Structure 1
């Protein structure tokens, strides 16, 4: 697919650091975010990622739980849409993470030296061995605003370039094909940090593996739920059950992790 390049204008972009996800709960299955309480010492912030529409209205696009301790997201949650309409590689940051009095708009780093204490910056990736790995990928968006909103560093984590550009990209395309037939599909994509690996720029925790959970809803049919993580021991993306992924996440974080906590409809894992 040919990728178009768009200009990312600052006045289009907005995100909001909030106390919980009540303002953007529509991006979670049954309006319920994953059940996860970070262990002591890991500070997280809830972000309702949003933009201003053409009629000057605030439009929420997806939700992110961000670790200011590790400087990477724990997960981003979104409603699947496809096909995408292009790509913009301008990267923005979230000033509110470094102070409540900071602007609410996503923006470039600029000259404010106090920005970057609680988040990754574009300069942290410079001359590193890592890509900026999207959690909510451009491939899973279907409109201009959603595409723009994915290009914030609060929606990215350091990712091995080979894995990002080959196995994980193929996985994102496979998920796109799998979810295209759904009437509606909820997706949660997250990162497990590698706490034994040297931090990028002595600041940003790199990813050990990425994971994704999907819930496909079709009229008069039971939900189809799938889970994935990678890289596995072979450098590939592995499919597993939601329960198996939740167990893996719980073992790592040392606390229960329920991705889709409210299950009102029958579950089927293909």
Structure 2
């Protein structure tokens, strides 16, 4: 299996490994993944995320650009339809084909077998004792459980290629609230058409720090969505978010402002999150006074095998 060596930006998750995103290009607006002009020399893998159902049939559910040097995703892209509480479990799969240069290797996510360390992706053990920097880190989902509407999609988010180290206080608090707020913001979209969402991370520094000297810690998470405005004639809208900011909050901003910030922090010339459009989409209209703001709640996640 060949990995892609790029002068770098975005990436994410678990699934079928193909030459390019393959069938998972459908998870990008107009089948076009984010564009950027990278500078950091690093190795990434485009992943078409796949999980098998009880009949062993594969299902492609989202796309990820994964950095095998940093062992974290750069971004994950998915379509948002609706949010349904389908329960939760966290089996934390790995991607066999990232490790094996073998066409016969399992093409979809699977449980890690044996005690051997993985060379090109993170492991559960990397997060054990993650308070080494004075902060405990959770495995932060890029494609979150809260944005799924069926059990297969829920389970498919729980792959170590769809997660990066996230301060556990931020993960359980402000970012979790943000995931619910995005659902509210998406109510401005045409319900008959799916919304496109991209979520990524920006490392603290390409040289600092790493969990167990293996997994790069992120400076902040970011998210952007684009969709057709409700009751409009093919008018696109979009919203950007990043956090934590300097006050440890999730900040809402335009797609243009988010792209500028990402380009500055990655040290690149330009980033276009939704290149399928001729210009960045404008922000949604101001929400009505009864716009619901989700409250912080305890995360019910588990690390069981989901049987």
Q: Give the TM-score normalised by the residue count of structure 1.
A: 0.88
Paired with 2:67 and 2:38, the residues of 1 have a C-alpha distance of 9
Could you tell me how far 1:83 is from its partner in structure 2?
Answer: 2.2
Change (3 A) 1:266 1:90: closer
- 1:180, CA displacement in angstroms? 3.9
Contact 1:84 / 1:147 at 8 angstroms: preserved in 2?
Answer: no
Judge which range, 127-136 or 180-189, deviates more.
180-189
Match of 2:172 among 142, 165, 169: 165
Q: Does 1:67 align with 2:81?
A: no
Summarize deviations over 1:156-199 as a string: whole Å, max 9, x none: 00000111110000100000122145322110000001125421
Gaps of 5+ in 1: 1-13
Quick one: distance in 1 between partners of 2:69 and 2:263?
Answer: 19
With over 3 angstroms needed to count, the CA separation of the structure-2 counterparts of 1:266 and 1:226, relative to structure 1, is closer
Once the 2 structures are TM-superposed, how far is the Cα of residue 251 of structure 1 from its aligned partner?
A: 1.8
1:41-190 mapped onto 2 (5 Å cutoff): 41-53=41-53, 57-80=57-80, 81-101=82-102, 102-111=105-114, 113=116, 115-128=117-130, 129-180=136-187, 182=189, 183=191, 184-190=194-200
1:220 to 225, 229, 232: 232
Distance 1:265 1:164 in 2: 32
Deviation at 1:220, TM superposition (A): 3.1
> What are the ranges of 5 or more consecutive residues in structure 2 without an aligned counterpart?
1-13, 131-135, 285-307
- Secondary structure at the aligned position of 1:225 is classed as strand
Q: Distance in 1 between matches of 2:97 and 2:173?
A: 34
> Cα deviation per residue 1:7-66 (whole Å; 9 max; x = unaligned)?
xxxxxxx82112212311111111111013543521100011122346654321000000
1:98 Cα shift?
1.5
- Alpha-carbon distance change, 58 to 110 in structure 1, aligned in 2, over 3 angstroms: closer
Q: How far apart, CA to CA, are the structure 2 residues paired with 1:192 and 1:152?
A: 19
- Give the structure 2 partner of residue 259 of structure 1: 273
Please say if residues 34 and 275 of structure 2, whose CA atoms lie closer than 8 Å, have aligned partners that are also in contact: yes
Q: Which residue of 2 aligns with 1:229?
A: 242
Q: Shift of residue 243 of structure 1?
A: 1.0
In structure 1, distance between residues paired with 2:127 and 2:172 = 16
Q: Within 2, Cα distance between the matches of 1:264 and 1:54? A: 42
The 3 A distance-change label for structure 1 pair 35 and 17 is: same
Q: Distance in 2 between matches of 1:22 and 1:69?
A: 22
Q: Which moved more, 1:181-190 or 1:169-178?
A: 181-190
Aligned residues: 256
Distance 1:234 1:224, change over 3 A: same
Cα distance in 1, alignment partners of residues 83 and 124 from structure 2: 27
Specify the SS of the correspondent of 1:99. Answer: coil
- Distance (Å, rounded) in 2 between the aligned partners of 1:41 and 1:149: 29
Corresponding residue for 1:26? 26
**Tell me, what secondary structure is at the counterpart of 1:43?**
strand
Residues 39 and 254, structure 1, Cα contact 8 Å, conserved in 2: yes
